[in-house]
Amino acid sequence: MATSLFRFNVVDGTGAVSFVGPAHGLKAVAAACSKGPESIADLLEHAHRYDAAWIDSVVLGLLMFDEHNVDALSPEYEPIVANVVDLDHRAFRIVDATSRSRSMIPAHLGLVVVNLGERRIIQIQNSYAELQRKGRGRIRERGVPTRSLFHYQLPDSWSIVP
């Protein structure tokens, strides 16, 4: 992945996850939100059509996390979550104070929280570009932009907080 990354925190009724993503990931997440996801898994499934390689790495990171951690970070896994370098940082679930603290440290481009229950995208820090309610982006194949575009428009029920 490039060094220009966002940190994304996604919250649903069962918990929260944190992962990093490329600059174009902001539009991919917004497009996924426009499909009405009810859960983190739904959001990732919708975003998969826009950049499968990125979302596959997020899902793999969460599977690895789940394999090593249950209700809190295992002592062996804590250094992975606490690592302050965001380049290829593994996705993790927010399960305790360490993971919560790490999830609130922005990546190079910023920090975005997506609250699925409240239908809100909160740009805690965004030094890339203002997220619009309506937009388009390039579909990626194996991480490379294609000529194919996707379009999205967030429903009125969603809010974007600057």
Tens digit of pLDDT at every position of the chain (162 positions): 457 999 999 999 999 999 999 999 999 999 999 999 999 999 999 999 999 999 999 999 999 999 999 888 999 999 999 988 877 789 999 999 999 999 999 999 999 999 999 999 999 999 999 999 999 999 999 989 999 999 999 999 999 998
Total Cβ atoms within 10 A of residue 52: 15
The pTM score is 0.94
Return the bridge partners of 15, or none.
12
Q: Is 135 exposed, middle or buried (0-12, 13-18, 19+ CB in 10 A)?
A: middle
